[in-house]
């Protein structure tokens, strides 16, 4: 194969990959162009369904402020400033990457972070959860957060900021028989575990494990862990080193 043909083949292959990616993630990519959408821009970072009332918009602002204050309790201060897209009409979250999800989703698109809130996401628990995802990415970057951090830690940390009754410790203890029926953490490293049939145990087990770890290390330990990850340490090494107990929670 000569160089010209090779270039043509590579160009065609690249275009095919781009086409497939755009088809699969078109609604997420739409977030990047939200400023040119039909949504109403309330301030520099909040876009809402134009059908929402002034009272609804004010309430969202208050809830977001409360959610950020809750998250700051874990991080000390917040570095993230995601764009927030909100709508009480489920078509809004569908248009911006919800894929049948009426609650919320966080997308990382072309260097920007977007928190999309649906009709079931208009509460402080959901907002605090999604903003925790955004904060972890802001502190570690997309590569560390998406590739080197297992999904169970990302979700487990985010769930520390919410207080959904179905995912409280007593519910986990009851439904997993004290952990006997809990999935091993190595089965929860990818996002697919949190969208499949056993998603409840995936989320609840992740929350339980990170809560156990935070009870040992505290918020100061979380800060130390983030520094180790920024330095380039492997996740298991950083998690175990900060845990001061050999990382007992990390099942290898």
Q: Which domains does the chain have, with CATH numbers?
A: 27-147 (3.40.30), 149-252 (no CATH)
Structure tokens at 60: 């969202």
Average pLDDT over residues 49-70: 95
Given a contact cutoff of 8 angstroms between Cβ atoms, the answer to whether 119 and 57 are in contact is no
Query: Angle at CA 225, nearest 5°, toward 224 and 227?
Result: 65
**The pTM is what?**
0.84
pLDDT of residue 243: 76
Q: For 145-152, what is the mean pLDDT?
A: 92
Cα 213–Cα 216–Cα 220 angle in degrees, nearest 5: 95
How many Å apart are CA 36 and CA 106, to the nearest integer? 20
Three-state DSSP state, 228? helix
Nearest-5° Cα angle at 203, 231 to 235: 15
- Token pair for 94: 């569908």
What is the C-alpha to C-alpha distance for residues 131 and 214, in angstroms, rounded to an integer?
19
- pLDDT at position 245: 46
Q: Rounded to whole angstroms, how far apart are CA atoms 157 and 141? A: 16
Task: Pick the more confident residue, 197 or 210.
Answer: 210
Contact (Cβ atoms closer than 8 angstroms) between residue 83 and residue 112: yes
């Amino acid at each position: 194969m000569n160089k010209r043909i090779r270039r043509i083949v590579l160009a065609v292959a690249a275009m095919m990959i781009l086409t497939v990616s755009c088809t699969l993630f078109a609604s997420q990519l739409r977030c990047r162009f939200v400023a040119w959408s039909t949504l109403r821009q309330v301030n520099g970072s909040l876009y809402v369904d134009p059908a929402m009332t002034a009272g609804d918009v004010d309430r969202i602002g208050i809830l977001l402020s409360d959610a950020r204050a809750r998250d700051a309790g874990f991080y000390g201060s917040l570095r993230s400033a995601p764009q927030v897209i909100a709508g009480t009409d489920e078509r809004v979250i569908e248009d911006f990457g919800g894929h049948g999800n009426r609650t919320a989703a966080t997308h990382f698109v072309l260097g920007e972070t977007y928190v999309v809130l649906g009709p079931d996401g208009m509460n402080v628990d959901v907002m605090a959860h999604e903003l925790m995802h955004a904060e972890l990415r802001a502190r570690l970057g997309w590569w560390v957060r998406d590739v080197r951090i297992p999904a169970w830690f990302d979700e487990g940390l985010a769930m520390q900021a919410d207080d959904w009754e179905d995912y409280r410790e007593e519910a986990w203890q009851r439904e997993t028989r004290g952990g006997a029926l809990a999935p091993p953490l190595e089965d929860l490293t990818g996002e697919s575990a949190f969208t499949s049939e056993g998603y409840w145990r995936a989320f609840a087990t992740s929350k339980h494990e990170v809560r156990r770890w935070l009870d040992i290390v505290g918020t100061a330990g979380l800060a130390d862990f983030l520094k180790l990850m920024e330095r380039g340490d492997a996740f298991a090494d950083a998690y175990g080193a900060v845990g001061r107990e050999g990382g007992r929670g990390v099942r290898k």
